[in-house]
Structure 1
Amino acid sequence: MSRNQQIRLFSALAIRAPFAQLEATWLTQHPDNPLAIDWGPTTAIEKKLAAGEPADAVIVTVKAMDKLIAEGVVTGGSRVELVDSPIGLAILPQAEAPDISSVEALKKALLAAKSVCWSLGGASGIYFQTVLKQLGIEEAMAARATTIGEGFTASQLIAGKADIAVQQISELLAVKGIKVIGPLPDAVQQPTSISAGVLANAQNPQGAAALLDFLRSAEAGRAFEAFGMSLRN
């Protein structure tokens, strides 16, 4: 690998929480290859790439990766599968946790909330809106929605703007001072699947490939699992 060469990474927010630990480990092993990471929802990353912003590697949803490879933006042979990240709900620690063990219980909990926060730009928030339609409460929830374009929905709990936050569990856990009460019920659960790849125009493709190999290591796997994610084969 090239020495003293930075690796620029565009990454979905889903893996940001464990990445603090992972980046520290990477730098211990590869001190001459620091990471420059741009975090954001997959939709924002796709826009950056379409605008021609340079990077060496990208971590996005499986669906987006399929598209980027088809378009020749990502080198197909470089692709690695990382994690499945389930969607969950969070509250403040002192709040009483509602029952969300079934679809009907989830519906009652959402309707009883003063405000529910989800992200309009993130994969989990986009999917959650389809869940609200499925439950027949889309209009009712519009009146008590606190939506954000991107970022961590649990931050709105801390700010006092919502009493339930919905997002991938890994993203909820990135915010200190909140409590995850559980995943969505199986009947309406849709984990976000995450892939990584090296960009076709990468300035440091060797370094990017080494980083992706590291993210498939046993050590990285343990860090991902600690934040509620399961490894993809």
Structure 2
Amino acid sequence: MSQFIFRFNIKTNFTLLALAVASLSTVSQAMAADIRVVSSGGFAQAYKNLAPAYEQASGDKLVSGWGPSMGTTTNAIPVRMARGEEIDVVIMVGDSLDTLMKEGKLVAGSKVVLANSPIACAVKKGNAKPDISTVDGLKNAFLKARKVAYSDSASGEYIKHQLMKKLEITEQMQGKAAQIPATPVGEIIAHGEADFGCQQRSELLPVEGIDIVGLLPQEVQLTTAFSAAIVTGSKVQPQAQALLNFLSSEKNAGAIAETGLEPVAGKR
């Protein structure tokens, strides 16, 4: 009789344990969410590198999209927001994010600064590298280039409206310096459509077929902050906040630095 009770209890306990595990799995699956994220190019590679680890740890699925922080192209984040695209998290240039926050399109207080991004310049792989370590050297590189490319986002806006003036070459660059919409500057250089170009270093590094010459000289450098925030009306705000906490964690600073960014952990 006692053996029967003992065996019955073991069988019952295993059954209850199996039910408990199945129940926890069901709850975990129920709590998992699809988080729709749109990132601008400057942080895109860091995000791509970190996304698998987040998905594995959280059980959430990241549904990712890409677009510039400003401008009027179809994929530009402000344009996506204006047409009511369903997005939970945006990662973009801080100033542009602040504008969306003031407009009430992002959850107040959810902004977290992820990294700073300096501007670098590149040439087609194998071509001679101009010396841009000084302001005069950078100026000569612009003037001697057959065609110069820069982006339609933060770095390109700076080059177009401020850097050219600082270098006193605005008139000389008319007709041979072009702002490139939607396409990474590195790809334009790699395809031979420009022989010199500048963009945030983190956007140049992943592109094959180019050589990075170096950063802009410190006297004329512009470092752009990339930040993330939760979109107002997101139905998965707790999961979105968990993603922001993960991306801004100090343990991920090394992975972010590897992409050419300067990580900023926990700053707002």
Q: Is TM more than 0.5 here?
A: yes
- 2:83 pairs with one of 31, 51, 62: 51
List, as ranges, runs of 4+ consecutive aligned residues in structure 1 with deviation greater than 4 Å: none
Displacement of 1:5 in angstroms is 1.9
**Structure 2 residue aligned with 1:123:** 154
- Listed as ranges, the matches of 1:212-223 within 5 Å are 212-223=244-255
- 1:6 pairs with one of 34, 38, 51: 34
Q: Is 1:188 aligned to 2:220, yes or no?
A: yes
**Structure 2 residue aligned with 1:19:** 47
TM-score by length of 1: 0.93
- 1:37 pairs with one of 64, 67, 84: 64
Q: Is 1:210 aligned to 2:248, yes or no?
A: no
Kept after mapping to 2: 8 A contact 1:56/1:204: yes
Kept after mapping to 2: 8 A contact 1:89/1:166: yes
Q: How many residues align?
A: 231
- 2:211 pairs with one of 179, 195, 199: 179
- 2:260 pairs with one of 225, 228, 231: 228
2 CA distance for matches of 1:200 and 1:19? 21
**Structure 1 residue aligned with 2:114:** 82
What amino acid does structure 1 have at the position aligned with 2:149? C
Unaligned 5+ runs, structure 1: none
Displacement of 1:35 in angstroms is 1.0
Percent identity between matched residues is 35
Larger relative contact order, structure 1 or 2 (CA cutoff 8 Å, min sep 6): 1
Q: Is 1:108 aligned to 2:140, yes or no?
A: yes
Unaligned 5+ runs, structure 2: 1-27, 71-75
Q: Which stretch of the first structure deviates more once superposed, 101-110 or 143-152?
A: 143-152
TM-score by length of 2: 0.82
2 CA distance for matches of 1:103 and 1:117? 18
